C-alpha cells in the first residue's frame, strides 16, 4: 500500500489549487491526509471549514509519499506559514517530494529552496519581491519539476496535478499526457485513451 499524501491546510487556502491532484491521487489509491498548523479547524478562502488530520509538528517525511502546499493569502502577509516552508525543506532533504503552487512558491523562495532549482510561479517579479537568489532559474512554464520539487502558478492546477502524477509515477506517460489533454483542453480523443488505460 502506498504511503499517504500530505495536503497542507491553513486559513485562506486557495480551494481550487490542489483539487485535481488530490482527487486523482485518491482515485489511484493514495490516502490524502490533511496537515494543519495545529489540530484546530481552518477555513479556506472559499469558506470551507477543514478539520486537519495531523498537526504540522507531528509530520515526518518518512511517513509520506508527497507534501502538497497550496497557495493562501497568508503566504504573503507575514511569517505564519513559514513553518510549512521549513517542513518542505525537511521533506526535500529526506528525498521526499514537495509540490508548491501559487503563494506557496513564495514560501519556497523565502526558504531558499528555489535558489538552485528550476521553478515557476505566477510571474517572475512575484518571486523577485521575496529577495530570493534563484531568479536566473525561473522558467516561463505552466508547471516545473526539479529536484523533487514541483512548482506552478495559481492558474495552473491541472498542470500542477500533471507534474505530481508524473513525479509519483501514478500512470505511464501516455496516460498522464491524455489526462492533461482531457482536463486542460477538453480533448475528447484523450478520454478514449484514459478509458482504455483504466484511468476513468
Catalytic residue among 102, 106, 113, 182: 102
- Output the DSSP codes for 61-116: GGG-SEEEE--BGGGGSSSTTHHHHHHHHHHHHTT--EEEETHHHHHHHHTTTTTT
Residue 151 host element (H or E): strand 149-152
Query: Is residue 102 annotated as a catalytic residue, yes or no?
Result: yes
The residues facing 6 across adjacent strands are 33, 67
Q: How far apart are CA 104 and CA 183, in angstroms?
A: 23
Beta bridge mates, 50: 42
Q: Which residues are known to be catalytic?
A: 102
Amino acid at each position: 500500500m502506498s504511503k499517504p499524501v500530505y495536503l497542507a491546510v491553513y486559513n485562506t487556502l486557495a480551494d481550487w489549487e490542489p483539487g485535481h491532484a488530490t482527487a486523482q491521487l485518491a482515485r489511484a489509491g493514495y490516502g490524502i491526509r490533511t496537515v494543519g498548523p495545529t489540530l484546530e479547524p481552518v477555513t479556506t478562502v472559499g469558506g470551507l471549514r477543514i478539520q486537519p488530520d495531523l498537526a504540522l509538528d507531528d509530520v515526518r517525511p518518512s511517513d509520506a509519499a508527497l507534501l502538497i502546499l497550496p497557495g493562501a493569502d497568508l503566504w504573503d502577509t507575514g511569517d505564519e506559514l513559514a513553518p510549512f516552508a521549513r517542513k518542505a525543506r525537511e521533506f526535500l532533504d529526506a528525498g521526499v517530494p514537495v509540490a508548491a503552487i501559487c503563494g506557496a512558491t513564495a514560501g519556497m523562495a523565502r526558504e531558499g529552496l528555489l535558489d538552485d532549482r528550476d521553478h515557476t510561479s505566477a510571474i517572475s517579479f512575484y518571486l523577485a519581491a521575496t529577495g530570493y537568489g534563484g531568479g536566473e532559474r525561473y522558467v516561463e512554464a505552466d508547471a516545473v519539476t526539479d529536484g523533487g520539487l514541483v512548482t506552478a502558478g495559481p492558474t495552473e492546477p491541472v498542470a500542477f496535478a500533471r507534474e505530481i502524477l508524473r513525479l509519483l509515477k501514478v500512470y505511464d506517460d501516455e496516460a498522464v499526457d491524455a489526462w492533461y489533454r482531457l482536463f486542460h483542453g477538453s480533448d475528447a480523443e484523450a478520454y478514449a485513451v484514459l478509458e482504455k488505460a483504466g484511468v476513468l
